[in-house]
Chains A and B, each alone.
Chain A
Amino acid sequence: MHGHETSQVIESFNLLWLIPFLPLLGAVSNGLAGHWLQKRFGEKAVHTIAVGLPWLSFLVAVVAFFKLRSLPEGALLLDRLWTWVAVGQFHVELAFGMDALSAMMALIVTFVGSLIHVYSIGYMHGDESYFRFFTYLNLFMFAMLTLVLGDNLLLMFVGWEGVGLCSYLLIGFWYRDLNNARAGMKAFVVNRIGDFGFLVGFFILFWGLGGNWGEGGYHLGGQASLAFRELPALVAPLADKLLWGVPLATLVGIFFFVGATGKSAQIPLYVWLPDAMAGPTPVSALIHAATMVTAGVYMVARMNFLYVLSPAAMTVVALTGAATALFAATIGCLQYDIKKVLAYSTVSQLGYMFIGVGVGAFWAGSYHLLTHDFFKACLFLGAGSVILSMHHEQDMRKMGGLGRVMPLTRWTYWVACVAIAGFPIASGFFSKDEILWRAFDSAALLVPGWVPWLLGFVAAGLTSFYMFRSYFMTFTGETVKVHGHEPEEQRPVVTGVLVMLAIGAVMLAFVGLPHLWMHAPPALEHFLAPVFAAAEELPRAGHGHGTEWGLMLASLGVAFLGLGIAWWLYRGRKNPLPDRLRQAFPRLHRVVYNKYYVDEIYQATAVRGFLGLSRMNAWFDVHIIDGLVNGAGTFTRALAWIDGAIDTYLVDGAVNLVADSIRAAGARLRRIQTGRLPAYLGGLLLGGVVLVVISRILIDIYG
């Protein structure tokens, strides 16, 4: 299970830190000087910095990737910057590491991210906070790359929180609209709930690692490390350890997954993602489709050595993913806002990725992550292009016929639809099908493999339907007019990006052509295999090639079915059937259209419960705590009053008594001082006589 890390080649590569820090440099310079730059030199200065640095970062990532390829399989590039935390036996370095998985992620993030930066030049043109947008976007790149390249869990968590922050900032980018600000807050709060789970898992894992599981049970004193390259060997002995009667690996795995449900928008914490579409469209594409939301998948894939120890945790991951995939797909079928459709589609596709990593097909989940990045970014940016041309209209009912006036947008959108719907000419088919096949063939779960397969299979048909529904509603039929004239195609800076992403969405098929066709493992599987070595020993049901062919054809069939229904109902926007169906089943339509009222249920239960709790706490605070504090205050005042009385009457009295008696004595004594000279002289004389007499007497007595 952990044979691979003994022979791992660790190569020092000192440029790795540049990958995250170049975008950070952009964020800092634009954050500090962006306002001035924009005023003094115009938008060009801002985006030269902000777009140039991510591309540079991409170049470094490419160099690192080729360096990694030149090394033996399973190698790791390591860039140690400095020791971050050193407490006792707990030692964390600030170090970046790049193995096959993080190389893939870093390439995706830098490449797709940079493309979306380019697109933003066109999309954000003319915005008064142009520089602020690029600052946040660069900061996001930094956080995401830290997440991906961080060599240990702690650094990964820094990136994890960082992307959450940037997501919040960018969703509420147009903060003057209260709805946007509210959506940002919702995203942040929901993410925090997930992050709490992540942290709990983190602590439990650390507790387990830091312990010495000797004969007498648990006691502190083990060797703790959080570096990913050391974790597999450290985690493996924890397989049979129990905490609260539950295997430690299961507990940690499930808590980590709670974090993933927050970040990657899975049931039950998916509710923030559709609302997050309030942000500018490039943000939706970059953060809420391509990169940040895949962080949860990446994390589960990264911790694969932990999940393979626990069938229960894997089952939870796979079933949650499958349920989310189907659930979100049904909602997506009835939405009219084009970005909402894509948002639910993203939730659904993330569900697929979790099926993949949940059934132990970590490479398939990662592959779907890769392909989804391209086609979903392409879809979002295409939608953004449409929205721009429609003057910020997002309702598909008010669109139509745009294909004629926006050919580039149309065809790239079409290619991406084909990819996501699962037709074997584009990448989506291969990644999705691999996931479904591996789910069907899995025997590592507590449930039979066909359960997640079936959910995913139905969702695949729905995916095909709602994607082509959006395509037909937007691009076919009579061309609409906005403000009296027809919409126009966008600038090349926008469409160029769309074309590149569409090409990527097709070409990526070649890294994942299935074993069945090529009689060799897919290139990507081979590349990622060393990272997921722990998953190789997971039990498989062992269905034959026939079953695999059958499932593949079934997938294709269901995709065609979805396409066919969408074609029939929505092509040319002529068929009146959708409206009639809506009127025939008003209640069903209302429930699904309103997203099963999940938001309302959360509002009524969790949110209101929480508000009630906080009100109760406030009452407790005002009446009990404040009462105690005020009581203490009153008591102290009474005590002080007594003390004051003692001071006034007893202490001051004694002091005054002394002073008064001295003054009285003085008043008597002053009579002597008559001031008259003869009296003094007389006194003097008398004194002299007395002295003489005394001395005489003394002489007489003592001789």
Chain B
Amino acid sequence: MIQVGLQHFLVVGALLFCLGILCVLTRRNAVAVLIGIELMLNAAGLNFIAFARHQGDLAGGSLLVLFVIVLAAAEAAVALALILAFRRQVRTLDVDQIDSLKG
């Protein structure tokens, strides 16, 4: 029976974060990119709760996680709306082709 300690949570968080980065950088679908971002946010939230537990200040950590969740929800709403509008405009979700901000 292994003791699940701080390190385990941090490793899971880091893995989750790396998977998120990988997802963001490699996937070409905009929705997948958005999912990657969600993963990174959740990795950050896991880290928060792990450190909170470790330091014995569960209330403060939970509060921050709650903020992150709300932020993620808001971000998802705005980002999905943008993606939807964008798709209507250019008929594609491939982020490699979305370069109208090119200077």
Contact = CB atoms under 8 A, between A and B. Distances in A.
Interface of A: 669-678, 681-682, 685
A675 B33 CA distance: 16
Nearest to A685: B21
Interface string B69-103: 00000000000000000000000000110111111
B41 interface: no
Contacts of A675: 98-103
24 contacts: A669-B103, A670-B103, A672-B103, A673-B101, A673-B102, A674-B99, A674-B102, A674-B103, A675-B98, A675-B99, A675-B100, A675-B101, A675-B103, A676-B96, A676-B98, A676-B99, A677-B95, A677-B98, A678-B95, A678-B96, A681-B24, A681-B33, A685-B21, A685-B25
A82 B101 CA distance: 87
B14 to A, nearest CB: 13
Contacts of B99: 674-676
Nearest to B30: A677
A669 B103 CA distance: 9
A677 B33 contact: yes
Given A674-B99, A674-B102, A675-B99, 14 more contacts: A670-B103, A672-B103, A673-B101, A675-B100, A676-B95, A676-B98, A676-B99, A676-B102, A678-B24, A681-B24, A681-B25, A681-B33, A682-B25, A685-B25
A677 B95 CA distance: 6
Interface residues of B, number: 13
The majority secondary structure among interface residues of chain A is: helix
Contacts of B33: 677, 681
B38 to A, nearest CB: 14
A615 to B, nearest CB: 79
Contacts of A685: 21, 25
A176 to B, nearest CB: 86
Nearest to A677: B95
Contacts, number: 35
Interface in B21-37: 21, 24-25, 30, 33
B102 A678 contact: no
A677 B103 CA distance: 13
Nearest to B95: A677
Nearest to A682: B25
**What are the 10 closest A-B residue pairs judged by CB atoms, nearest first?**
A673-B103, A675-B102, A675-B99, A670-B103, A675-B101, A677-B95, A676-B99, A681-B24, A674-B102, A678-B25
A676 B33 CA distance: 13
Contacts of B100: 675
Contacts of B24: 678, 681
A276 B1 CA distance: 147
Contacts of A681: 24-25, 33
A684 to B, nearest CB: 9
B89 to A, nearest CB: 15
Contacts of B95: 676-678
A426 B56 CA distance: 149
A673 B101 CA distance: 7
Nearest to A671: B103
A582 B99 CA distance: 124
B24 to A, nearest CB: 6
B87 to A, nearest CB: 14
A685 B18 CA distance: 11
A536 B99 CA distance: 122
Contacts of B102: 673-676
A676 B103 CA distance: 10
Contacts of B21: 685
A678 B27 CA distance: 9
A281 B85 CA distance: 106
Contacts of A670: 103
Nearest to B27: A678
A676 B102 CA distance: 7
A128 B25 CA distance: 109
Nearest to B21: A685
Choose among A670, A671, A681 the residue with the greatest number of B CB atoms under 10 Å from its CB.
A681
Contacts of A674: 99, 102-103
A674 B99 CA distance: 7
B92 to A, nearest CB: 13
A669 B21 CA distance: 27
Interface in B1-53: 21, 24-25, 30, 33
A682 B24 CA distance: 9
B97 to A, nearest CB: 9
A289 B2 CA distance: 149
A200 B37 CA distance: 108
A673 B25 CA distance: 18
Nearest to B102: A675
Contacts of A671: 103
Nearest to B103: A673
A670 B101 CA distance: 11
B72 to A, nearest CB: 17
Q: Of A670, A672, A676, which is in contact with the most chain B CB atoms at under 10 Å from its CB?
A: A676
A681 B102 CA distance: 15
Contacts of A672: 103
A262 to B, nearest CB: 93
Nearest to B98: A677
A519 B99 CA distance: 135
A3 B66 CA distance: 125
Contacts of B101: 673, 675
A6 B103 CA distance: 107
Nearest to A681: B24
Nearest to B33: A677
Contacts of A682: 25
B61 to A, nearest CB: 22
Nearest to B101: A675
A671 B103 CA distance: 7
Contacts of A669: 103
A675 B96 CA distance: 9
Contacts of A677: 30, 33, 95, 98
Contacts of A678: 24-25, 95-96
A677 to B, nearest CB: 4
B52 to A, nearest CB: 22
A672 B21 CA distance: 22
A668 to B, nearest CB: 11
A670 to B, nearest CB: 4
A676 B99 CA distance: 5
Nearest to A672: B103
A405 to B, nearest CB: 117
A683 to B, nearest CB: 11
A679 B100 CA distance: 13
Nearest to B100: A675
A550 to B, nearest CB: 130
A163 to B, nearest CB: 92
Contacts of B103: 669-675
A671 B25 CA distance: 21
A677 B30 CA distance: 9
